[in-house]
Structure 1
Amino acid sequence: MRLVQVVVPDEKRAEIVSTLREHELGVSTTKETSGEGDRTLVSFVVPADAVEHVLDELHEVGLKEEWYIVSLETEFASYENVDEAQDKWAKTPNRVAPRTLRSKAKDMRLNERSFLWMMTLSTVIATAGLLIGSPAIVVGSMVLAPIVSPMLTASIGLVRDDQGMVFDSIRMQAVGLGLAVVGATAFSWLLKAVFAVPAELAVANMELIAIRFSPGLLSVVVGLAAGAAGSFSLATKGQVAIVGVMVAAALIPTAAAAGIGFAWGQPAVGVGAVVLLTLTIVAVNLGAFLTFKYLGYEPDHVDRGVFTTEGVRRTAALAATVIVVVAVVGAVGVGTYQQVTYERSVNAATTEVLQRDAYDELGVVSITAEYVGVGPLFDPSTVTVTLSRTSDRPYEGLPDELARAIDDRTNERVTVQVRFHDYERSTSPNAATPTPRPA
């Protein structure tokens, strides 16, 4: 429920109160006198789903934007027909009013110092969690990071034509994630220098890092869905599931993985994680923007007034930012397409080899391919194939067979490493249980 209060001139009071009573809402009026003439404070309780519709009707009978209008969240309300009103509006689309969405967006924005500090601290936590292999610590870093807020506000700014909000949000995303990658690199290098972790640590083989340095199609799907979920939650009467979006997108651990890769001198890990990070944040922004458009949010005169007063300088800065973003998105798109194509070929080649009779007892657990870039820094690429087996047979020639098959299919130099998960299997499902010995 929402408590909405508007201050109206006395000559408009009757029309506005009559409109509210037609909807059987709880209405009260308070007479006030000021130097500007006689006015009345009209208060009414309305279901959250009905706020936008009711305000639109009030504007049709003379309510002005420049008048005092405020909407407050209400825990409960008691008036005649309150249950009927809630039941009626509960069946309608529950999109919040554009003014409410705009207010939510402004409330989500942190001051820059708090934002940068939280990004730094969450990056330190994520880096430590990855290096010690603790999923709980990594999840904690996602919850602390404030990066999702500027992503959602950027989408709101785009759909509402608020250029100032778009520019500030994109800048905070770029600065925040840049700080995360640089901070993770510095912190990782420090840990390596003081031997807090082994200097020869095989970071590319660590499970929590290995899943974060290869952009793929599923990363796009997750980013789009996470952005859409955040937008739906923000634009409806439900709780804003920002924490869920943070965990789903997993941006901070990916930035930390990039820093670890650079600190350990493994550019394939670092660059691959940066590409995945950029791909994910673009997907989240796009998913949020498309969802707001689907929900029907459009610019209005309030938002148009925001950016027209910013002047030519702000518009030029935004245009330059858009050009940079388009260039980055284009580069990331090319890199992602290259990686997705490469991974499909790796999967196909691996499947072809493992379908041979000699490997009938093996099952695929996972296939991880390092990022394939352009130039000698990424040559050769490393592919890690994890298999399940029920015996201790070594399969000594399997890595070379896989490497040849992948080389032939991709025309890329590749190093294949094979890991095994060993399982014990019962000899018969009806095997008899041992007979206990007599005492």
Structure 2
Amino acid sequence: MRLVQLTIPTGAREKILETLDSEGVDYVVTDETSGREYTGVVYFPLPAPAVEPVLDALQEEGIEDDAYTVVVDAETVISRKFDALREEYENGDVEEDRISRQELRTHAEELTPTFSVYVTLTVVSALVATAGLLLDSPAVVVGSMVIAPLIGPALGASIGTVLDERELLVSGAKHQILGVVLAISSAAVMAWFVRVTNVVPPGMDIAAVDEIAERLAPDLLSLVIALGAGVAGILSISTGVSVALVGVMIAAALIPPAAAAGIAIAFGQPTAAIGSTVLVFVNVLSVNLAGLVTLWYAGYRPERLFDRAPTQKRVRRQIVGLALVVLVFSMFLGGITYGSYLTGSFEQNAREEVETTFDEEYPQFRVIDLEVTLDDDYPFRGPDRVVVTIAGPPDGSSSVIVEELHDRLRERINQHTDDTVVVELRFVNVVEG
């Protein structure tokens, strides 16, 4: 429920009150005694879905740009007219739960902090995310998402596009680009500093850190996060629900992969940064794409009637353009996903070959461990080495058998890959008694 306070310009009182009467709105009018160009202020309660159509109807009847309207939340309204109005507008469709176009624009502007605060929070969140990734700490990475101020620009650009608010669109787009650049560069600077000062162990393998490795070779599931964040973000802001948790979700799609890209650059592995950098950009585009589609489906349109047709064409073009770019990036992520599938299949086949070989031909030995090591060809990594550790009795014939076994395993494992994979066999003497 909303309580609307509307100033009445000189000469527009009769038209405004007639409009409210025709809409079935209950109102109260007070006279304006300040001597300005307004003759009074009208107060009236509205269900949330009725705010936009009623304000649009009033706009056509003389509400000038220099007048002002205040819309505030109302806890309780007791009125027969209000109950009838609520029954009229609350009909159970998608548009029922959404806030008005005017409120949506205000919320979008409020979500983006001032420039200095935005830059500071973005840099801080990137630094915290970098520390969390290097520490392999999911809790710290989540903390970095909480302070990231990315939800405002991400949603503002979509809202500006649909409502034909060019200033909001341009501001959102610029802030998003700036945020990505700041996050990657800040992470790179911090990672370089901790590396040269030996805050992290010398020769640290970033691919061995789980929190980093999963973002250096992202798969198609990462795309679901961004699309879900865009839909959830728009739904949360358009229904007046708190956007704090959704902001964390949007930050989850952007800040950690940006930090991973910066870390890879700082550690002298620019090819390793390709996957995470692509993930950042595809996530940004996906959030905007999901936001545009959700806003248009929710029924938001430009304020001016004559702007709706051109805006609709522009929104459609942007949706198609974004969808095509996201599709191209998705093919890239799909390639990484397929590579991961091949690697997983190879590891499973290698394990089955090893188990079969020992069960059928060398029962005197038992397998302790099997590890598949991947190459450094980011982001499409493949198997490079298979390390098999076995145990057996320390008799004199073991060395000959192990050499024969190594050749046998190498032959059987390499038949499951197009490239030659190094097979390393490690033997451990076991004395039982």
Q: Same fold (TM over 0.5)?
A: yes
- What residue number does 2:203 align with? 200
Structure 1 pair 51–250 and aligned structure 2 pair: CA distance change class (3 A): same
Residue in 1 that maps onto 2:152: 149
Aligned pairs (5 A) from 1:378-397: 381=382
Equivalent in 245, 257, 261 of residue 258 of structure 1: 261
1:101 to 99, 104, 123: 104
Of 109, 112, 118 in structure 1, the residue corresponding to residue 115 of structure 2 is 112
Amino acid at match of 2:333: T
Assess if the C-alpha contact under 8 Å between 1:4 and 1:46 holds in 2.
yes
User: What's the C-alpha RMSD, in Å, of the aligned pairs?
Assistant: 4.5
Deviations 1:336-366 (A, max 9, x none): 343233233334444444566927999xxx9
1:151-230 mapped onto 2 (5 Å cutoff) = 151-230=154-233
Match of 2:332 in 1: 335
Please tell me whether the aligned partners of residues 350 and 405 of structure 1 are also in contact (alpha carbons under 8 angstroms). Answer: no
User: What CA distance in whole angstroms lies between the structure 1 residues aligned with 2:112 and 2:374?
Assistant: 38
Question: Considering only CA atoms, is the larger Rg found in Structure 1 or Structure 2?
Answer: 2
Instruction: Name the structure 1 match of 2:39.
Output: 39
Task: Find the counterpart in structure 2 of residue 3 from structure 1.
Answer: 3
1:56 to 1:338, Cα distance in 2 relative to 1, 3 A: same
Q: Residue 339 of structure 1 contacts residue 371 of structure 1 at CA under 8 Å; is this kept in 2? A: no
Counterpart in the other structure of 1:433: none
Q: Which runs of 5+ in 2 are unaligned?
A: 312-317, 360-365, 393-404, 425-433
Counterpart contact for 1:343–1:369, Cα < 8 Å = no
The answer to whether the 8 A contact 1:5-1:71 is kept is: yes
Provide the residue aligned with 2:63 in structure 1: 64
Is 1:32–1:40's contact at 8 Å kept on the other side of the alignment?
Answer: yes
Scaled by the length of structure 1, the TM-score of the pair is: 0.73
Contact persistence 1:157–1:163 (CA under 8 A): yes
Give 1:368 shift: 10
The one-letter code sitting in structure 2 at the alignment partner of 1:77 is: T
Identity percentage over the alignment?
32
Change (3 A) 1:382 1:122: farther
Q: How many aligned positions are there?
A: 388
In structure 2, the residue corresponding to 1:43 is in which secondary structure?
strand
Deviations along 1:393-427, one digit per CA (max 9) or x if unpaired, are 79x9899789746642xx6x77899xxxxxxxxxx
From the superposition, tell whether residues 57 and 260 of structure 1 become closer, same or farther in structure 2 (CA, over 3 Å): same
Q: Please give the secondary structure, in 1, of the residue aligned with 2:32.
A: strand
Distance verdict in 2 for CA 1:157–1:59, change over 3 Å: closer
Equivalences for residues 273-422 of structure 1 within 5 A: 273-301=276-304, 332-333=329-330, 335-354=332-351, 358=355, 381=382, 404=414, 407-408=417-418
Tell me, in whole angstroms, the C-alpha distance in 2 between the residues paired with 1:218 and 1:184.
24
- Aligned amino acid, residue 335 of structure 1: F
2:51 partner amino acid = V
Alpha carbons of 1:327 and 1:172: their partners in 2 closer, same or farther (altered >3 Å)?
farther
1:383 to partner: Cα distance: 7.7
Cα distance, 1:83 vs structure 2? 8.2
Alpha-carbon separation, structure 2, partners of 1:187 and 1:2:
48
Structure 1 unmatched runs, 5+: 309-320, 386-390, 418-439
Report how far residue 380 of structure 1 moved.
6.5
Q: Distance in 1 between matches of 2:169 and 2:235?
A: 19
SS of residue paired to 1:44:
strand
| Shift of residue 194, structure 1, vs aligned partner | 1.4
Structure 2 vs 1, CA of residues 187 and 47 (structure 1 numbering), >3 Å: closer, same or farther?
Answer: same
Cα contact 2:265–2:273 (8 A) shared by 1: yes
Question: Counterparts of 2:165 and 2:385 in 1: how far apart (Å)?
Answer: 47
Maintained 8 Å contact 1:180/1:255: yes
Change over 3 Å in CA distance of 1:37–1:328 after alignment to 2: closer
C-alpha separation between the residues in 1 aligned to 2:377 and 2:336? Answer: 6
TM-score (norm: length of structure 2)? 0.74
> 2:297 is matched by which residue type in structure 1?
Y
Q: Which moved more, 1:44-53 or 1:138-147?
A: 44-53
CA distance in 2, matches of 1:357, 1:240: 52
Deviation of the 1:82 alpha carbon: 8.4
- Per the alignment, residue 53 of structure 1 pairs with 53
1:30 deviates by: 0.6
CA shift, 1:185, in A, is: 1.2
**Counterpart AA for 1:70:** T
